[in-house]
Amino acid sequence: MEDRGDRVIVAGSLDDLTEQAARAVSRSLADRAKGRDRVTLVLSGGTTPRRLYERLAGHEVPWRQVHLFWGDERCVPPEDSRSNYRMAYDSLISRVPIPPENVHRIPTEHADPHQAAARYEAALQGFFRLPPGAWPCFDVVVLGVGSDGHTASLFPGSSLLEEKKRWVVAGYIEQLQAPRVTLTLPVFNHAAQAMFLVAGKDKAAVMSALRPADGQDVRFPFQLIRPHHGQRIFSLDQDAAGSLKPS
């Protein structure tokens, strides 16, 4: 992955988008697994990512080395149909030979979302074992984007966007009238690769902000994820791309 910076891929159809993204994720995982014991993949919720997980289950991936994490989670138990873990379990985990100890879900069965966030942060710190003040570098992070420009559970106007020290935070999301747990912007921005999967006409307006004109303000949370030393890939279908050109 010597490529750095942004890449925009506009797929001819939703099916092509899914297949290209599955190929890109499996290739990145295989490349980054070379010579290492483990490689990390962060999953998110959403209908576009779900299609990717189903497709990924049919691809060659070094599953025994892959450790799965989540970028965000709804505050429900893991068996709940709204759970992002449950969605990934049904679409991917139950179909591939990944060791159960490599699956690191956010423990949202706890009544208090802040406790779930603190426990997940402690689990991540135990996994990465970094010196104080260092940030984890996830190998591949899969993200969706909402029609309001949110990504993971980082919503427009949310105070969670201000977090500078913690790896995982919880908060009540006004737009959803529900609590969520999410990784923070500094964590996403230390990833090696962030891959955004975006489909549908309702996303075209926010996607037009992907290449802001000089001096134009950042308007949407997804724009704030720009890995400092990593790559950003946007996989869009034609509806979401609108007039954006591939790069």
d(CA 8, CA 6) in angstroms, rounded, equals: 7
Q: Which is nearer to ligand 6PG, 98 or 199 (CB)?
A: 199
Interface with ligand 6PG (CB under 6 A), residue total 14
| Token pair for 14 | 């939703």
Supply φ then ψ for residue 173, to 5 degrees. -95, 110
- Report the residue number whose CB is nearest to ligand 6PG: 144
Kindly indicate which of the ranges 26-34, 38-46, 89-97, 115-123 contains the residues binding ligand 6PG, using the contact rule CB under 6 A. Answer: 38-46
Selected from 93, 152, 187, 204, the binder of ligand 6PG by CB under 6 A is: 152
> Per rule CB under 6 A, is residue 175 in the interface with ligand 6PG?
no
CB neighbour list of residue 63: distance below 8 Å, 6 or more residues apart = 96, 97, 98, 102
Taking the complex as a whole, how short is the minimal distance between the CB of residue 151 and ligand 6PG, in angstroms? 5
> Per rule CB under 6 A, is residue 149 in the interface with ligand 6PG?
no
Is residue 188 a contact partner of residue 222, using CB atoms and an 8 Å limit?
no
Helix segments in the chain, DSSP class H: 14-33, 47-56, 84-91, 113-128, 185-188, 204-207, 238-241
> Could you tell me where the beta strands, DSSP code E, fall in the chain?
5-11, 39-43, 66-70, 72-74, 140-144, 168-173, 178-183, 193-198, 231-237
Furthest-apart CA pair in the chain: how many Å?
48
Q: Which is nearer to ligand 6PG, 231 or 235 (CB)?
A: 235
Question: Nearest 10 degrees: CA dihedral of 8, 144, 67, 130?
Answer: 80
Site map (CB under 6 A) of ligand 6PG, residues 48-87, x = contact? xx----------------------x-----------x---
Question: Nearest 10 degrees: CA dihedral of 93, 34, 15, 7?
Answer: 130
Taking the complex as a whole, how short is the minimal distance between the CB of residue 146 and ligand 6PG, in angstroms? 4
> Per rule CB under 6 A, is residue 46 in the interface with ligand 6PG?
yes
Q: Which is nearer to ligand 6PG, 8 or 33 (CB)?
A: 8
Q: Which residue has the tokens 């490529």?
A: 3
> Per rule CB under 6 A, is residue 151 in the interface with ligand 6PG?
yes
Q: For residues 89-148, which are near ligand 6PG according to CB under 6 A?
A: 144-146
> Per rule CB under 6 A, is residue 235 in the interface with ligand 6PG?
no
Site map (CB under 6 A) of ligand 6PG, residues 186-205, x = contact? --------------------
Residue 125, classed as helix, strand or coil, is helix
CA distances (Å), origin 240, targets 17, 128, 190: 11, 36, 26
Q: Which is nearer to ligand 6PG, 18 or 65 (CB)?
A: 18
> Per rule CB under 6 A, is residue 47 in the interface with ligand 6PG?
yes
Kindly list the residues in this chain that would bind ligand 6PG in the complex (CB under 6 A).
44-49, 72, 84, 144-146, 150-152
